[in-house]
Structure 1
Amino acid sequence: MYTGKTLFAQLMDFLPWTTFTRIVDRYAGNRRVRTLPCTEHFRVLAFAQLTYRESLRDIEACLSAQSAKLYHMGIRSPIKRSTLADANERRDWRIYAEFAQRLIAQARKLYAEEDLGLDLSNTVYALDSTTIDLCLSLFPWAPFRSTKAAVKMHTLLDLRGNIPSFIHVSDGKMHDVNVLDLLIPEPAAIYVMDRAYLDFERLFGLHDAGAFFVTRAKSNTDLRRIYSAPSDRTQGIICDQTVALSGFYSHKHYPHHLRRIRFKDPETEKTLIFLTNLFGPPPITICELYKARWQVELFFKWIKQHLRIKKFYGTSENAVKVQIWTAVSVYVLVAIIKKRLDLQPSLYTLLQVFSITLFENIPLNKDFLDTKQILEDDMISNQLNLFHN
């Protein structure tokens, strides 16, 4: 029988704690702190994410029930909700944001060779945002509408491994297109985004930096055809054209030619018009690139369902950002562990199993889960077969 570390302690061993300590020192995170230093604070919040705790009282009760094991979790003193509330309020959220970025860098290296299913060697990013609704009376610093508050999570997702490479948390009023001003374009990378980001001055900034983009045209986009390439209607490609912007300001902001592809989806019969500065690949590849953008929507849905970013442990801006960045760190940590240990189950299955086994003394290795027991729907079940003779 395995009598070593608990599963939670083994998970935490994958984190670069030396790097975390340097970041804490840079922001003086432990200055005048007598209890619950930043390392323990992060462990507690990671525990809350992994076990789906809903409130500070919930966290306190669960950890109190396992008080004999707290030391082996790396937590040196009992956790009180008032202490945890103060830490969420006062510890600089940039500590947890920068640490998450270090984990993201590790994960992207691990997933760099993932196959996108496209004949492209470029790094492909999907850019989008999701809105998290809040109560205006409790979160007055995040105005959205006259009676609502919200925060937006703007995310640039690396489609090789679905790892977020850039995240910006803003109030609900920030328009999506403004995030393009915060990005540092990566030469030769492909940025896939929807019509909310159709701003020709900003898109020319991507083009000028040597990057490529794929987006959709709006109905009022004024374009004139320069050249038409042969198109294969059997693939749904109605036209593949080189175009120029006709509007005075749009042409001034983007003076170069663009590629326009009109595509009719054979499944939905819906016609889509794509604009891109990527002229090399065949038109069906451009359509598949835009279809891959859906991965960022699935990412938002996944983290909202399986991590705690819809209900917050504090109402201040700092507390909300600390919780969001900790959730991102947990997501990326599980992705790192999955890759390093070559675990076959999905991230969802791993999180489900971790949530009920954190205090168990079981080895975390490639044989951690018997994949034969995982059903096709990626759920673990111990139900009897109703129709078994």
Structure 2
Amino acid sequence: MDKITRKTSFGQWFSPINFQLFEEQVKTKKLDYYTKKLTTESFLKLLLFAQLQEVESLHALGDCLFNDQLQKGIDLESINISQLSRRINGLNPELFQCLFLDLVAQIHAKTHYTKLVMPLKIIDSSTLPLNLTNHKWAKFRKTKAGVKLHLRLVFMEKGASYPEKVVITTAKEHDRGYLDYERFDRMTDDGYFFLSRLRKNAVIREVYDFKLPNDSTVLSDQMVLIGTTQNRAENYFRLLKVMDSKGNELQLITNRFDLSAEENSEMYKSRWAIGLFFKWIKQHLSIKKFYGQSEWAIQNQVFIGIIVFCLHVLMQIETKSKRKTLQISRYLRAALWKPAHILLRKIEGKAIP
């Protein structure tokens, strides 16, 4: 990021977005044909503003355009609510997904690992509830509707993390193979490591019982074969029994025999990072109430929310700041229309002249 800039803090924050790629996509998909006012670029910036400020509805978002600085920042003076609604419901989410993946590539390029041979990646899913009356296409129980966010999160050193891959489905779809014996075999054969929680009813045959240190917090450490005769993994794996923070016994399965039982147990605890991300998505981004009712509208808003998170991470990396993304978000909202250097110095912890 160029720190000598006349951009506003808002403009500096979203500057990593690849607008050349964006414009190519808009042109290819002919998204601005016959558009006189609400261009796709203005719409993107307006949605970024809405997510950042947690604007609760399209009507409230339209009212925000009374602000002269917002009008200048997104090149739009006013907008009809019906136009916003048509855009959010009719825009193919592939556009925003493309921007998200480009931001992920930028984070990859700017992230360096010193202790890990490969970054730790955490896979999980979370359901975002929807109103059944307005979202019958997302019905998954008699009285409920929702979408499921399937996520792969990269856990970086020093506790920071960012989403790497996102798939959005209806909530009735089962989790995407997180506990899959065939996948465990494939990953092991291909040289990848994994660590996963095993179901209590899993069929296990003990092969060897490793001795644990007297002061170990791990309950047991074994080499095992998993699965039935008809459906069994081919490789030997390691089964660890540990206690969670609530006193419940957990079974962890892994192919990492090079780490100690304690190191594997500690690695599993890093999965709290994906829980924090889902909490961020649900609490700090404006998807508690969706702007549209179509499947595309829901996906568009989720991808915008994730783009916001990635932009925070990039600002965190560029400023080499130890501040959490939530703190960066607060500073940004407070300095939205101030010169960018004021925000950057605040995030860096430097005095503002």
**2:312 corresponds to 1:334:** yes
1:27 aligns with 2:8: no
| Counterpart mapping for 1:299-378 below 5 A | 299-361=277-339, 363-364=341-342, 366-369=344-347, 371=349
Percent sequence identity over aligned pairs = 28
Q: Under a length normalisation based on structure 2, what TM-score does the superposition of the two structures give?
A: 0.90
The 5 Å alignment of 1:225-236 reads 225-236=206-217
**TM-superposed deviation, 1:370:** 7.7
Equivalent residue in structure 2 for 1:258, among 228, 237, 240: 237
| 2:121 corresponds to 1:143 | no
Measured after TM superposition, the shift of residue 286 of structure 1 is: 1.0
Show the counterpart of 1:186: none
Count, aligned residues: 345
Contact 1:23 1:99 in 2 (8 A): no
- Hey, what does 2:155 align to over in structure 1? 159
Aligned partners of 1:262 and 1:272 also within 8 Å: yes
Secondary structure of 1:319 counterpart: helix
Assess, with a 3 A threshold, how the Cα gap between structure 1 residues 83 and 271 changes in structure 2: closer, same or farther: same
Q: 1:37 aligns with which of 36, 39, 44?
A: 39
Q: Report the Cα offset of residue 269 of structure 1.
A: 4.4
> CA 1:14–1:241 in 2, change beyond 3 Å: closer, same or farther?
same
* Cα distance, 1:368 vs structure 2: 2.7
Whole-angstrom distance in 2 between the partners of 1:255 and 1:88: 48
Code of the residue aligned with 1:334 in structure 2: it is H
Instruction: Give the equivalent residue in structure 1 for 2:263.
Output: 285
What's the C-alpha RMSD, in Å, of the aligned pairs?
2.4
**Aligned-partner SS, 2:242:** strand
Say if 2:320 and 2:348, in contact at 8 Å, map to a contact too: no
TM-score (norm 1): 0.82
8 Å CA contact 2:153–2:274 kept in 1: the answer is yes
The alignment status of 1:107 with 2:107, answered yes or no, reads yes
Distance of 1:12 and 1:155 partners within structure 2? 23
| Runs of at least 5 residues in structure 1 that lack an aligned partner in the other structure | 181-196, 374-389
**Over 6 Å off, 4+ runs:** none
Distance in 2 between residues matched to 1:27 and 1:287, nearest whole Å: 48
Partner of 2:72: 72
Using the alignment, how far apart are the partners of 1:224 and 1:37 within structure 2? Answer: 61
Structure 2 CA distance, aligned partners of 1:361 and 1:123?
A: 35
The letter of the residue matching 2:13 is L
Q: Cα offset for 1:25?
A: 3.0
Question: Given the alignment of the two structures, is residue 130 of structure 1 paired with residue 132 of structure 2, yes or no?
Answer: no
